[in-house]
Amino acid sequence: MKILLLGYGKMGKTIEQIALNRGHEIAGRIDVNNRADLDALGKEDVDVAIEFSSPEAALDNVRDCLKRGWPVVCGTTGWLEHRTEIEELCRQQHGAFFYASNYSIGVNLFFRLNKMLARFMKGYPSYHVSMTEVHHTEKKDAPSGTAITLAEGIIEQIPTKKRWVNDADSQPDAVMIESLREGTVPGTHVVRYDSEVDTIEIKHVAYSRQGFALGALTAGEWLVGKEGVFGMEDLLGEISNV
C-alpha cells in the first residue's frame, strides 16, 4: 500500500515506522516546508493519505486529497467546525474519508465506558461531572478532540447537560473540561463525578504514540477500496447506542 503522510511530526514519523515494518511504501511526506510537492503526485501514486498535521493545515489537506481521489484518514483536531463541509465534499467526489478524534482502541473502549457511566449517573443529580485532560506542551488545540468526544458522550446521555466549556464554569448545564499541557505526556483523560460524600472516576492513560499510530494505519488499510464517511465504530464493528 502506498501511503501519503500529511504532517511529518512525531505522529507522522511513528506511523511511517509501523507502516514500513508492515511492508507498506511511503509515497510522500508532506509538511509545512514542502506542501508544493503535493502537486507532483498523481491519483495512482497514492493508495491512502494519513493526515496528522495542524488545525491550520488540516482542512486544505483533506480537501485536496478528496479532490485528487485519494482516500484520507484524518486524526488532526481543532478544525471540526468544517467537518460537515468535508463530509459533503467526500460524498460529492464519491470518495472515502475517515475521521477519529483518537485512534487508540483503548480510548474507543473508554468512549463506550464513558457513555455507559453517564447513562447510569443521569438519575443522580447530586453528582457533578467534570473532566481533566493532560497532553504534551506541543499540542496546539485545547481541549483535546478526545475530551470533546467524551463531553459529547456525556451530553448525549444526561439531558441536563447542554454544552461543554474549557474553563471553570460552574453552570449546571455545562460539562467543565480542564486542559493541562505538561512535558511530553502522550495523553491522559479523566472523567469525574463528585458529590459531597464521594467521587466516581474513570481514567485512560496513554503510554506512547504507538497505539494511536497503529490505529490510524489500521484505519488506512481498512479504508482502501471503500466509499463514504467513516469512523472508529465502523472500523471496530461496534454500535454507537451504548
Catalytic residue positions?
135, 139
Residue 103 annotated as part of some ligand binding site: yes
To the question of whether residue 14 is assigned a binding role by annotation, the answer is no
Question: Is 184 marked as a binding-site residue?
Answer: no
CA–CA gap between residue 152 and residue 115 (Å, rounded): 9
**99 assigned ligand-binding residue:** no
Residue 201 zone, left/alpha/beta (φ > 0; ψ -120 to 50; rest): beta
Q: Residue 102 annotated as binding?
A: yes
Find out whether 145 is annotated in a ligand binding site.
yes
Q: Residue 77 — left, alpha, or beta (φ > 0 → left; ψ -120 to 50 → alpha)?
A: beta
What angle do helix axes 210-223 and 105-121 make, rounded to 10 degrees? 100
Eight-state DSSP code of residue 122:
T
Angstrom distance (rounded) from CA 165 to CA 172? 11
101 annotated as ligand-binding: yes
77 is in an annotated binding site: yes
Question: Residues within the annotated binding site for (S)-2,3,4,5-tetrahydrodipicolinate?
Answer: 136, 145-146
* Residues annotated within a binding site for NADP(+): 35
Q: Please state the residue numbers annotated as binding site.
A: 35, 75-77, 100-103, 136, 145-146
Residues in the annotated binding site for NAD(+):
75-77, 100-103
